[in-house]
Amino acid sequence: MDETIKGIIKDENVLVTATVCTETVEYARRIHDTWPTATAAMGRIIAGAILLASTLKEGQKIMLQVKGDGPLKEVVAECDWLYRVRAYVKRPHIYMGLKGEKIDVGRAVGKGFLNVIRDLGLREYYQSSVELQTGEIATDIAYYLNVSEQIPSAVSLGVFVETDNSVRAAGGFMIQTMPETKIEIVEYLERKLSEAQPASSMILNGMTSLQMLEEAVGLPIEVIHIAEIKYYCSCTKERVINAIITLGRDEIKKMIEKGKTVNVECYFCKKKYKLSIEELRNLLREL
Ligand code: ZN
């Protein structure tokens, strides 16, 4: 079962979060038919969105969007407060080989920006952007947390893709100190984390999210909550219609003039929606 855990290091002011999301990432891979480099990028951003969702309140969502000048172009994941996650990658058929033992996500992403969009509910959004540091996604999320949110954070994300292209391990962990954290603990964690094995290796070895945290920090963890994760897309025909409305009257008129049923495919789950000419005409009348 895919899960996420949130806790604190016992008696210390250190927030710890981890996720094992192998099945979710494998499910996303099958929807999007991604090749290994695209799978790794999408898996890392899914794990990152789950980790950041640990701070959400009821009704809230967080979206991470990596936009770069590399062949992948754009990778997006969104996670809500119930850990329902969905994702897509603009160019799914990308495989660029390895860099050392790891899939070379940085080169596939290139230079660009990480955008973090918080949907606070009631049509209230908060967006912030940072320049990509490596394009490897984990370091970029850590940089965003350190710079934009001023929370000293270490982030490790990993995806292991099997030779048949399926996902054998996906997940990650995040360690965040607070202003009250003792300096000795901060220094200890820096040392400990620099020696920690990659998240993908821990998951390949069968570790749960709690075991991963205990292994990474080497101290007892007090669990705040554990939650199940699932891939879920909230798209509906009504939302597709709303998206078409935002194109404006002229675009809708052009669609009607073409005289063909309009097919719209959801980016996140590939579900297909059809709009007949009659529906488009009604839409135009309502505008
Ligand atoms: Zn959908």
Q: Please determine, for residue 21, whether its predicted confidence score (pLDDT) is greater than 90.
A: yes
Distance 266 CA to ligand 1 centre (A): 5
CA atoms within 13 A on the CB side of 140: 30
Per-residue pLDDT band at 259 (split at 50, 70, 90): confident
Distance 234 CA to ligand 1 centre (A): 6
If one counts every other C-beta atom within 10 angstroms of the C-beta of residue 240, the result is: 19
**Same topology for domains 3-231 and 237-286, yes or no?**
no
pLDDT tens figures, 183-242: 999 999 999 999 999 999 999 999 999 999 999 999 999 999 999 999 999 999 998 888
Q: Please determine, for residue 4, whether its predicted confidence score (pLDDT) is greater than 90.
A: yes
User: Which percentage of the chain shows pLDDT scores above 70?
Assistant: 100
If one counts every other C-beta atom within 10 angstroms of the C-beta of residue 273, the result is: 17
Distance 63 CA to ligand 1 centre (A): 15
User: Which percentage of the chain shows pLDDT scores above 90?
Assistant: 84
Domain 3-231: top CATH class: alpha beta
Per-residue pLDDT band at 150 (split at 50, 70, 90): very high
Mean pLDDT over residues 81-109, rounded? 94
Structure tokens that stand for 67 in this block: 């936009």
pLDDT of residue 286: 82
Distance 95 CA to ligand 1 centre (A): 25
Distance 232 CA to ligand 1 centre (A): 8
Domain ranges in the chain are 3-231, 237-286
- Closest-CA residue to 38 (of 96, 116, 78, 102): 96
Torsion sign, CA atoms 60, 217, 194, 149: positive
Distance 213 CA to ligand 1 centre (A): 33
pLDDT tens figures, 243-253: 888 888 999 99
> Mean pLDDT score of the chain, rounded to an integer?
95
Distance 233 CA to ligand 1 centre (A): 5
- Phi, psi of 50, deg, nearest 5: -65, -45
Mean pLDDT over residues 125-150, rounded? 96
Residue 98 three-state SS:
strand
pLDDT tens figures, 218-234: 999 999 999 999 999 99
pLDDT tens figures, 68-82: 999 999 999 999 999
Distance 152 CA to ligand 1 centre (A): 35
Distance 33 CA to ligand 1 centre (A): 15
Mean pLDDT over residues 46-62, rounded? 97
Q: Which fold has domain 237-286?
A: CBS domain Like (3.90.1280)
Residue with tokens 């990028």: 41
Distance 172 CA to ligand 1 centre (A): 25
Distance 263 CA to ligand 1 centre (A): 14
Distance 273 CA to ligand 1 centre (A): 10
What is the pTM (predicted TM-score) of this model?
Answer: 0.94
Distance 285 CA to ligand 1 centre (A): 27
- CA 231/CA 225 separation, integer angstroms: 20
- CA 34/CA 91 separation, integer angstroms: 8
